Amino acid sequence: MKLLLDTDIGNDIDDALALAYLLREPQCELLGISTVCGEPEKRCEMASAICHHLGRTDIPIHPGCQVPLSIPQRQPTCPQAARLGDWPRDRFAADNSAIDFMRRTIRANPGEVTLLAIGPLTNVATLFTLDPEIPALLKGLTLMCGRFFDRLSGEWNAILDPWATAIVYGNTAHQRPRSHVSFGLDVTERVTLPRDEARRRFASLSGIGPVRDFAEVWFSGCERVTFHDPLAAVCIFHPEVCTYEDAFVRVSQSEPTLGWTVPDWHVPGEAPHRIARTVDAEAFFRIWFGALS
């Protein structure tokens, strides 16, 4: 399966865990990586270090948008880049080459590319706005974004750029992807490991050396790992890990609910958004650790 990854790698450790999985998933043909949020060039270096470590220096990596479309930046730095050390990697300029790269790649492979977005949706919204035909040219769009079932509240990726989130969910005028799947906090918060257990299990995985270093930045302030982004990645290739429901998702554009994802289950004849409802956590961990071990 041809796939593009759009990521804010460098804050939560789960982006790096998702990338490591994609590089080892035999069904995945990773066409490229784009980064979003503050210091996108450092985020590219982190992605490059992981790719180099796993022998995948062939994958294009491009920095994208540094600031949201409509609100001030709340994620201006890339703290995990402090642990890049001597890991082999390429260097990058903050030139926002990502949007053009994504556009060219999707147009060169119409109907074949799945776009996996696991950060704020600034890059994806910019792409959809500049070329409104792009959503319909995708095979599918998969997001780690939102909260839908257990309670309504803000989710980090969605609220960091609420206008971008509204664009990507089709609350504005552009074509829609043929498949639009979201993995919200309702399911991702059910796949977690305590810090000590994660360290122990990561130590047995020879292919994630840089990721283990990046994880120590995360562990310095957090007592567990939640596999938000890896769950979305795994379910592209193993959708049976979750169950799903269909709805129309509206994105709030006013305070105090700015950026909240609000599902409407009763729009007549219109349910373009598939939302993960439940997850088999044991199956997920078996697949993720199996791919990396």
pLDDT in tens, 50-104: 999 999 999 999 999 999 998 999 999 999 999 999 999 999 998 999 999 999 9
Q: Which of 191, 193, 158 is nearest to 273 (CA)?
A: 158
Residue 268 has pLDDT above 70, yes or no: no
Q: Which pTM does this prediction carry?
A: 0.97
Residue 152 has pLDDT above 90, yes or no: no
* Beta bridge partner(s), residue 161: none
Could you read off the pLDDT of 155-172 as tens digits, one per residue?
A: 999 999 999 999 999 876
DSSP-assigned letter for residue 252: -
Distance, CA of 259 to CA of 254 (rounded, Å): 8
- The CA distances from residue 48 to 5, 54, 63, 73, 285, in Å, are 13, 10, 11, 24, 25
Q: What is the pLDDT of residue 173?
A: 59
- pLDDT category, 176, cuts 50, 70, 90? confident
DSSP 114-129: EEEE-S-SHHHHHHHH
- Is the domain 2-292 a CATH 3.30.460.80 member? no
Q: Which pair of tokens denotes residue 81?
A: 């880049």
DSSP 219-244: HTT-SEEE-HHHHHHHHHH-GGGEEE
Q: Which residues of 128-145 are buried (b: 16+ CB within 10 A; e: fewer)?
A: bbebeebbebbbbbbbbb
Could you read off the pLDDT of 112-144 as tens digits, one per residue?
A: 999 999 999 999 999 999 999 999 999 999 999
Could you read off the pLDDT of 202-258 as tens digits, one per residue?
A: 999 988 999 999 999 999 999 999 999 999 999 999 999 999 999 999 999 999 999
Place of tokens 């129309």: 248
- The CA distances from residue 14 to 8, 17, 74, 212, 216, in Å, are 10, 5, 19, 11, 12
Q: What is the pLDDT of residue 3?
A: 98
| pLDDT, the chain, mean | 96
Asked if residue 14 lies in contact with residue 227, where contact means CB atoms within 8 angstroms, the answer is yes
Question: Where exactly are the structural domains of the chain?
Answer: 2-292
